[in-house]
A and B are shown apart, each in its own frame.
Chain A
């Protein structure tokens, strides 16, 4: 056979085996870095220099010089702050996906919970720690409700969750922009009025020693969520039931699992995580809401979760990787003098290849089958 050597190489690299998912994810990362290098080389830039500057921008390597009260550590803290909503959002996708539901409504849920938290607590004068706790609680509740609604619609009317989710994204986006523009608009920024510092989930420009940094108060909560979701899937009954439903509806029903309850529960949980992503995004990194725009982070999180193979720890690592590149490219564009759009293209390439992981895996699996059957034929002749 002409291509046998090539097939064997693919199977060896990505084929079935214990670490297949990890190998596929790493393969996706490597080829997207290669594609990024080609892009930079075509623009006449040194790819290595580009990647170094990405790491510098993200706070993993020291820059040549820093402004006052800034250092590598403050850059890293910004990265953590930006990554927090991504961790929640990718977990949100992973939880639904494990139960066999494709939740594309994360952006809408984020916007919904961010908006509700802004207008209830964000514009109030509740003192700091209570306001922040309330914001988190409101994020959880509004997320849970919107998630459960999608799950219920899916179960009760056998509606396609992707269609419902897309419709909800539009509904939420337009309804909220109506309220922002009629009631909460800031005339100079054309965005919603900035929420008070008492309700912010990020300590913006907080002085620690000699350094001025952004501290995400909910990042520990994100790490806790990773641990809890991981525990739920590996050790608990409810986690087992969700996974079983995601694997096979018929067999789960046969085992006595109530499919509807599992679907609604997993969507509610997914909604809670999306809600937390929403409050940590709108009331952490931004502080205000731009009308008629839904956060692309909610969609990027799908690729991030896929890159992390829908495992909680994978989501955490993939979130950091993607946000490192996304954050670092800003610095790269100024260092190397490439357009910002080119810089964000590199993030796009990574997300694109991350989402292709399943295809690479399927390809390797198919080659393995083909090699097997070719061997058999060769033997019988």
Chain B
């Protein structure tokens, strides 16, 4: 078709153990706003990274303006007038807006015909003009570090426009903005379209798509589910297509019968380093033998709640009560000794010492007391004994057993090592954050069975996961968080996956 500016033809991109994009074909018309919708890990960002030259596809063709092209780098994408605003901005914080925008393509004028000189004045003028054309209000002389997040995003947009981008990719642009800022961004996006630009919007927020997009493609687990005219589909339908399955009730799970309260989180509020409220007045309980899960799209404060309970973060307000005892001010080690085990989200940077061997990592939380250490002297024999036992018991595979440096192990086995260590602590409360992320099907099943077994033994479990299926399979109680607040708390038996998905998008607010 003549007016298709971007055609992705049967794109497949594989990563080890996962197919991120499975035979995806899209065609995007010039001058439309095209939304890519999907859950975390559905393959939206990968697909756009392929278009932007960050990844090369394993199969398939990219056709830009009717010509087949190979895009090996963002620079080449830029030459094809493709621009991208990344989720995490790529700006130099102690330089001015103008300096950031011209970085890499500094305009020069020749003085006396030979000496070239940076043309800051011309650049500044052009930026002024671009910002007034599209309603992007930014002072070209301001320093990036003095600007709020929304203004930094406008700088990123200007950066694309300055490079004459015609195809603009926005990766989750509203994730960092307040509702008012979102409105003004959506206006800008519309203005850009009216100015003849083609916009690709990566998002999982349904209401935004409804507001601005012309068409949307829905991805689910790497596959293209369908392409729809936004006017002809309801948000309800979009949500269920995005989640991708109808929940079936066939888990080997005993019904939770109730028990003593183990953990009480009371009105916890947390501000991050940028003074943004990431957890907002959150309260809930976890009982003996119960699996409570917190569902939500990544970055809605769930992980921070887990960190607060484990002691890694100190809440700005509120209390953590464990077995009737206020532990808000207790250290991480004291909490471990009281019986709180924590499987953190970042298994490589937090859960393990990658440059130490497996034996040490399998005793990372108990290395300091008997039998591993007496009178300050470590006992390698005991580390080894414990290590060999756990390796055997949890089927942790590694090249050299106990003396394997953990960095060289696969992600699945690293995770098994963490879980083995934490379960061996024999705690009363287990906090799992994304325990199965990035693992293969067999490992996922194994870990999920272990979590169920823990609850059957009467342990309290707090599970934080982005996988709706996992949450539906394991939980007794489901909490949904959105923008740092609890959207709803429901018994698993009384709620469907679609409803949860809907709450996760922030579409429905409980009164």
Contacts and interface: CB of A to CB of B under 8 A. Distances in A.
Same complex origin of A and B = yes
Interface of A: 235-238, 240, 244, 247-248, 250-258
A255 B333 CA distance: 7
Given A244-B353, A248-B349, A255-B364, 20 more contacts: A235-B377, A236-B376, A236-B378, A237-B368, A237-B376, A240-B367, A240-B378, A247-B354, A248-B354, A250-B346, A250-B350, A251-B351, A251-B364, A253-B332, A254-B350, A255-B365, A256-B332, A256-B336, A257-B333, A258-B333
A238 B354 CA distance: 19
A250 B307 CA distance: 12
Contact of B353 (A236, A248, A256, A258): A248
B56 to A, nearest CB: 11
B426 interface: no
B442 to A, nearest CB: 26
B312 interface: yes
B352 interface: yes
Interface of B is mostly: loop
A311 to B, nearest CB: 15
B312 A247 contact: no
Contacts of A238: 376
Contacts of A235: 377-378
A252 B368 CA distance: 12
Contacts of A256: 331-333, 336, 365, 368
A253 B344 CA distance: 12
B374 to A, nearest CB: 9
| Chain B residues touching A, range | 20 to 34
Given A237-B368, A240-B367, A247-B356, A254 B351 contact: yes
A249 to B, nearest CB: 9
A253 B377 CA distance: 21
Nearest to A258: B331
Nearest to A248: B353
Most buried by B among A238, A240, A252, A257: A240
Contacts of B194: none
A238 B367 CA distance: 11
**Closest CB pairs A-B (n = 7):** A256-B333, A250-B350, A255-B364, A256-B332, A254-B350, A237-B373, A237-B376
24 contacts: A235-B377, A237-B378, A244-B353, A244-B356, A247-B353, A247-B354, A247-B356, A248-B349, A248-B354, A250-B346, A250-B349, A250-B350, A251-B351, A251-B352, A251-B353, A253-B332, A254-B350, A255-B353, A255-B367, A256-B331, A256-B333, A256-B336, A258-B331, A258-B333
B482 interface: no
B355 interface: yes
Interface of A is mostly: helix
Most buried by A among B344, B351, B365, B378: B378
Given A247-B355, A256-B331, A258-B331, A237 B367 contact: yes
B342 interface: yes
A134 to B, nearest CB: 29
Interface string B161-193: 000000000000000000000000000000000
B400 to A, nearest CB: 12
Nearest to B332: A256
Nearest to B355: A247
Interface string B337-366: 000001010100111111110001000110
Contacts, number: 55
Contacts of A244: 353, 356
A237 B377 contact: yes
A282 to B, nearest CB: 33
Nearest to B346: A250
Interface of B: 312, 331-333, 336, 342, 344, 346, 349-356, 360, 364-365, 367-368, 373, 376-378
Contacts of A251: 349-353, 364
A255 B312 CA distance: 10
B129 to A, nearest CB: 42
B371 to A, nearest CB: 13
B14 to A, nearest CB: 12
Nearest to B348: A251
Most buried by B among A240, A244, A251: A251
Contacts of B354: 247-248
B454 to A, nearest CB: 20
A254 B365 CA distance: 8
B322 to A, nearest CB: 16
Contacts of B367: 237, 240, 255
A259 to B, nearest CB: 10
Contacts of B377: 235-237
B312 to A, nearest CB: 7
A252 B360 CA distance: 12
Contacts of B331: 256, 258
A112 B445 CA distance: 62
A226 to B, nearest CB: 19
A256 B333 CA distance: 4
Contacts of B355: 247
A257 B373 CA distance: 15
A324 B353 CA distance: 38
Most buried by B among A235, A248, A252, A256: A256
A235 B379 CA distance: 8
A212 to B, nearest CB: 45
A347 B35 CA distance: 64
Contacts of B342: 254
Contacts of A257: 333
Most buried by B among A236, A248, A254: A254
A355 B355 CA distance: 23
A254 B354 CA distance: 14
B285 to A, nearest CB: 25
Nearest to B349: A250
Contact of B312 (A237, A240, A248, A254): A254
Contacts of B353: 244, 247-248, 251-252, 255
A256 B349 CA distance: 15
A247 B360 CA distance: 13
Contacts of B364: 251, 255
Nearest to A241: B368
Contacts of A255: 353, 364-365, 367
A358 to B, nearest CB: 15
A345 B253 CA distance: 75
Contacts of A237: 367-368, 373, 376-378
Contacts of B336: 256
Given A247-B353, A248-B353, A253 B378 contact: no
A238 B373 CA distance: 11
A250 to B, nearest CB: 5
